[in-house]
Chains A and B, each alone.
Chain A
Amino acid sequence: MTALKAVSLSVRENEFFTLLGPSGCGKTTLLRLIAGFEQPTTGAIWIGGEDVVGLPPFKRSVNTVFQSYALFPHLSVAQNIGFGLRMRGFERAAIDKTVGEMLELVQLSGAGDRRPNQLSGGQQQRVALARALANRPEVLLLDEPLSALDFKLRKEMQLELKRLQRETGVTFVFVTHDQEEALTMSDRLAVMSNGEVQQIGGPTEVYEFPANRFVADFIGETNILEGSVEAVQDGEILCRLGNDVQVAVRGRADIGARVSLAVRPERLSLEPAAELPGAGRLDGTVAEAIYLGNGTSYHVDIADGGRLLVRGQNRADGRMTFARGERVSVHIAPESIRLLRE
Chain B
Amino acid sequence: MTADAGNVATSKAAAAARRRTRAPFVTGEYPGFRFFTIVFFFFLYAPILVLIVYSFNDNRSATLWTEFSIDWYIRAFNNDDIRRAALNSLTIALVAASAATVIATLAALILVRGGRFPGHSLAYGLISLPLMVPEIVTAVATLSFFAAIGLSLGLGNVIIAHTVFCIPFAYMPIQARLSDMDTTFEQAAQDLYANDWNAFRHVTLPLMMPGIVAGAMLAFIISIDDVIITLMVAGAGSTTLPVYIYGMVRMGVTPEVNAVSTVLLAISILFVSLSWMINRRR
Identify the A interface with B (CB < 8 A): 35-37, 56-58, 62-64, 66, 68, 70-74, 83-84, 87-88, 131-132, 135
Contact = CB atoms under 8 A, between A and B. Distances in A.
Given A57-B191, A63-B192, A84-B193, A72 B185 contact: yes
Contact of A35 (B182, B191, B195): B191
19 contacts: A37-B191, A57-B187, A58-B190, A63-B192, A66-B188, A68-B182, A70-B184, A70-B185, A72-B188, A72-B203, A73-B282, A74-B206, A83-B189, A83-B192, A87-B192, A87-B194, A88-B193, A135-B192, A135-B193
Contacts of B193: 58, 84, 87-88, 135
Query: Which size class do B's interface residues fall under?
Result: 10 to 19
Given A66-B184, A70-B182, A56 B192 contact: no
B16 to A, nearest CB: 35
A74 B188 contact: no
Contacts of A57: 187, 190-191
A70 B194 contact: no
Contact of B187 (A70, A71, A131): A70
B184 A63 contact: no
A68 B185 CA distance: 10
Nearest to A88: B193
A248 to B, nearest CB: 53
B190 A70 contact: no
Contacts of B207: 72-74
Contacts of A73: 207, 282
B61 interface: no
B198 interface: yes
Nearest to B209: A74
Interface in B179-228: 182, 184-185, 187-195, 198-199, 202-203, 206-207
A83 B189 CA distance: 8
A62 B282 CA distance: 31
Nearest to B203: A72
Given A58-B191, A63-B192, A87-B202, 11 more contacts: A57-B190, A58-B199, A66-B187, A66-B188, A70-B182, A70-B187, A72-B189, A73-B207, A83-B189, A87-B189, A87-B195
B72 to A, nearest CB: 46
Of B188, B190, B192, most buried by chain A (CB within 10 Å of CB) is: B192
A84 B193 CA distance: 6
A84 B192 contact: yes
B161 to A, nearest CB: 36
A147 B189 CA distance: 22
Contacts of A74: 206-207
A255 B273 CA distance: 85
A254 B187 CA distance: 53
B188 A58 contact: no
A64 B191 contact: yes
Contacts of B184: 66, 68, 70
A131 B188 CA distance: 10
A229 B136 CA distance: 90
B282 to A, nearest CB: 8
Contact of B194 (A58, A62, A66, A131): A58
A135 B182 CA distance: 23
A68 B190 CA distance: 16
Contacts of B187: 37, 57, 64, 66, 70
Contacts of A132: 191-192
A73 B182 CA distance: 12
Contacts of B198: 87
Nearest to B184: A70
A206 B191 CA distance: 32
* Top-10 shortest CB links A-B: A84-B192, A70-B188, A87-B193, A70-B184, A57-B190, A87-B194, A74-B206, A58-B193, A64-B191, A83-B192
A83 B206 CA distance: 14
Contacts of B190: 36-37, 56-58
Interface in B146-173: none
A89 B191 CA distance: 15
